[in-house]
Amino acid sequence: MSYSIHALSDDVLFQMRSPRPALPVEPITAEGGEPLRCCLRDATAGERCLLAGYEPPLPDSPYAERGAVFVHAEPCDGPDGSAYPIEWIGRPQALRAYDARGWIHPATRTHDGTDPVAALTAVLSVPGVKLVHSRNVAYGCYMFTATRVD
C-alpha cells in the first residue's frame, strides 16, 4: 500500500502569510527545532517563522479542532518529497485516524518513532480509515496529513 503525506497547502500558507490573516499569527525567530508544517522539517536557529492557528482538513465534524503550527514567514521550497519527513524519523507521534465522516477511527494509535512508515502504513491499511493526522505526542499539535493512494 502506498500513501501521500501532505504539508500545508499553498493556499493555507498564503493566507497565514497575508497582511491580514483570518486566524491568529505571531512572527517569531526560530530557536531551532520548531517543526515547520510548510516543508516538513525542523527550523534552524535564526530562521524567520510564523506561529499560526490552523484547523486541519476534515469533513464537517465534531472532531475538528484548531491548534498552533510553525511555518516559514516567507515561501520556501516545501517538502523534499521523501516518503516520510526525514528529520522526523525517530520522533514519537500520535496517528489520529479518521473515517469518511471526519470522526476519529479506532485505528488511531501512537508510535515510538523507530519505524514510522510501518506504523503509518498499518493505520492507513485498516478498512474505513480515510486519512490520518500525525500529531505531536506531548503537545497534540498537528504535524501533517497522510492519505492512502489507491
pLDDT at 94: 98
Does 2 fall in a domain? Answer: no
Last residue of a domain, one of 33, 50, 72: 72
Domain that holds residue 61: 7-72
Asked if residue 150 has pLDDT above 80, the reply is no
- Do 95 and 127 reside in the same domain of the chain? yes
Last residue of a domain, one of 37, 72, 107: 72
Torsion over CA: 116, 120, 122, 123 (sign)? positive
- Do 20 and 62 reside in the same domain of the chain? yes
Does 81 fall in a domain? Answer: no
Mean pLDDT of 99-116: 97
Maximum CA extent, the chain: 44
Question: Rounded to two decimals, what is the model's pTM?
Answer: 0.94
Is 6 within 8 Å of 147 (Cβ atoms)?
Answer: yes
What's the total number of domains in the chain? 2
